[in-house]
């Protein structure tokens, strides 16, 4: 059982306000929140004067690579990196090897996470053109959702059957999350550039032209039309274009929205100008596109058309990334640096602390209806992060915790540093040291 902890004098960021106060957690739960709690008894007392206290971030899209791809990352290593970065809960994608496309395979991932994950966890059930019966057995109370790759996947996880999509959208027992890119158009674009410049001359700068804005919009608009037709609860992942933003609204409270959207750190941070230096290291699907797209996505985060911020953390080895453009896989590691990256935007005056917490903690909890997490409230699980907002540090090989041992942020100096992370009351990270004695918990949902 987690020890009792008293956090004093922190600048608490929660539910639209910032205030100095104290938090007491006993076991897994927050038991008191307010001011002048210094007389309360606790096993550990932390003076957080001058520091921020945030609810732990909830990342609704990661690829931790287990089972089958564990040379890139695994549930042990990547969950530790997440916790060190202030991410206390994650939702992991099904395109592992084997893919989580049966209930048995899905539960094997949950069992493994219970043994090794330092963070709280949930796993999406994967969709194929032929596993409808398995999908319908998904329990909405303890599985975060159903994932559909409507473009860009491996094996049999690309769902391109119109009849399958109609059926799943009309009958899904829970929220559907989609990766939306038009695969036939992408293949056509790629062939065009191969013919124009030659296969050996293609580099990452062609990635946003091959995986174009049109390819994204065609697929996203199709998913939205299916959701509207069938009244589906749809969540579209990693929006990468300005054009797609017309598909989303900000006129309803999040809890009442049927169609929601996610932005990822890399689409908020990088633009196509960065391919010249970063190359394949910022090769993601969907592609990082123009500065105009990046700025429009950021604006949509601020005005509520985009509901959550996540990472799409997807590690590959350096050797894999350093192959030629067509051979290098898409994806990169981000989960250790997502919170401090967003705080960098706060330092730059582009976003408030309240909005960061809303998009990275409150809204994922509301959107997925997570039980007793995502807020600093009495009776909620003590998923808490303490941040020193004025402790500059530089990302380098020595402090990167990803199994792949690299980061697109290498060499960048962040102004904020995570000093403590609590997962269900357990002090899992403190001043650079991880504590694995208590594992994270399976997320549950109020559905």
Alpha helix segments (H runs only) across 270-398: 275-278, 291-303, 318-321, 338-347, 353-357, 363-368
How many helices (DSSP H) and strands (DSSP E) are in the chain?
14, 20
**HSE (CB half, 13 Å, CA atoms) of 242?**
10
Query: pLDDT by residue (tens digit) across 235-270?
Result: 999 999 999 999 999 999 999 999 999 999 999 999
Contact between 401 and 118 (Cβ < 8 Å) = no
- Rg of the Cα trace of the chain? 21
How far, in Å, CA of 157 to CA of 161, rounded?
Answer: 11
Alpha helix segments (H runs only) across 231-358: 265-269, 275-278, 291-303, 318-321, 338-347, 353-357
Domains and CATH numbers, the chain: 5-54+377-390+413-434 (2.30.40.10), 57-368 (3.20.20.140)
**For residue 290, what are the CA distances in angstroms to 59, 268, 272?**
25, 11, 5
Stated pTM of the model: 0.98
Residues paired with 445 in a beta bridge: 370
How far, in Å, CA of 49 to CA of 64, rounded?
Answer: 35
Strands across the sheet with 120-123, in order? 57-62, 87-92, 120-123
pLDDT tens for the chain, residues 1 to 447:
789 999 999 999 999 999 999 999 999 999 999 998 999 999 999 999 999 999 999 999 999 999 999 999 999 999 999 999 999 999 999 999 999 999 999 999 999 999 999 999 999 999 999 999 999 999 999 999 999 999 766 667 888 888 999 999 999 999 999 999 999 999 999 999 999 999 999 999 999 999 999 999 999 999 999 999 999 999 999 999 999 999 999 999 999 999 999 999 999 999 999 999 999 999 999 999 999 999 999 999 999 999 999 999 999 999 999 999 999 999 999 999 999 999 999 999 999 999 999 999 999 999 999 999 999 999 999 999 999 999 999 999 999 999 999 999 999 999 999 999 999 999 999 999 999 999 999 999 999
Question: Which pLDDT score, from 0 to 100, does residue 155 have?
Answer: 67
Cβ neighbour number for residue 47 with a 10 Å cutoff: 12
What SS3 class is residue 309?
Answer: strand
How far, in Å, CA of 34 to CA of 9, rounded?
Answer: 10
What SS3 class is residue 140?
Answer: coil
**Sign (positive/negative) of CA torsion 297, 371, 312, 395?**
positive
How far, in Å, CA of 99 to CA of 113, rounded?
Answer: 16
Residues 6+ apart with CB under 8 A from 48: 7, 8, 9, 10, 11, 386
DSSP state, residue 329: P
């Amino acid at each position: 059982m987690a020890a009792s902890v008293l956090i004093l004098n922190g600048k608490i960021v929660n539910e639209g306000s910032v205030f100095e106060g104290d938090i007491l957690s006993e076991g897994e739960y927050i038991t008191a929140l307010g001011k002048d709690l210094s007389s309360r008894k606790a096993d550990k007392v932390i003076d957080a004067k001058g520091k921020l206290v945030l609810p732990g971030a909830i990342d609704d899209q990661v690829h931790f690579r287990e089972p089958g791809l564990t040379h890139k990352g695994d549930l042990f290593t990547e969950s530790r990196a997440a916790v060190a970065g202030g991410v206390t809960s994650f939702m992991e994608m099904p395109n592992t090897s084997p893919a989580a496309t049966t209930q048995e395979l899905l539960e094997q991932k949950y069992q493994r996470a219970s043994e090794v994950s330092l963070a709280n966890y949930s796993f999406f059930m994967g969709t194929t053109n032929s596993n409808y019966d398995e999908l319908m057995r998904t329990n909405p109370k303890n599985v975060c959702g159903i994932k559909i790759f409507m473009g860009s996947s491996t094996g049999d996880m690309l769902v391109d059957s119109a009849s399958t999509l109609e059926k799943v959208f009309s009958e899904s027992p829970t929220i559907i999350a989609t990766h939306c890119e038009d695969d036939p158009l992408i293949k056509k674009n790629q062939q065009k550039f191969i013919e124009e410049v030659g296969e050996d001359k293609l580099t990452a700068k062609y990635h946003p032209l091959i995986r174009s804005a049109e390819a994204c919009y065609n697929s996203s608009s199709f998913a939205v039309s299916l959701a509207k037709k069938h009244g589906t609860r749809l969540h579209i992942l990693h929006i990468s274009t300005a054009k797609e933003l017309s598909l989303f609204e900000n006129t309803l409270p999040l809890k009442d929205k049927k169609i929601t959207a996610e932005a990822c750190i890399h689409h908020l941070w990088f633009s196509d100008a960065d391919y010249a230096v970063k190359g394949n290291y910022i090769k993601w699907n969907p592609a990082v596109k123009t500065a105009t797209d990046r700025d429009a996505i950021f604006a949509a985060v601020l005005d509520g058309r985009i509901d959550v911020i996540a990472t799409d953390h997807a590690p590959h080895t350096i050797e894999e990334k350093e192959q030629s453009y067509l051979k290098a896989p898409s994806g990169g590691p981000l989960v250790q640096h997502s919170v401090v990256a967003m705080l960098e935007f706060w330092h730059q005056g582009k976003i408030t602390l309240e909005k960061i917490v809303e998009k990275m903690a409150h809204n994922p909890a509301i959107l997925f209806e997570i039980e007793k997490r995502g807020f600093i409230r009495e009776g909620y699980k003590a998923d808490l992060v303490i941040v020193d907002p004025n402790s500059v540090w530089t990302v380098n090989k020595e402090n990167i915790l990803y199994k792949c041992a690299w980061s697109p942020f290498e060499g960048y100096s962040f102004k904020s540093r995570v000093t403590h992370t609590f997962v269900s009351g357990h002090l899992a990270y403190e001043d650079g040291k991880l504590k694995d004695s208590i594992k994270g918990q399976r997320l549950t949902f109020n559905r």
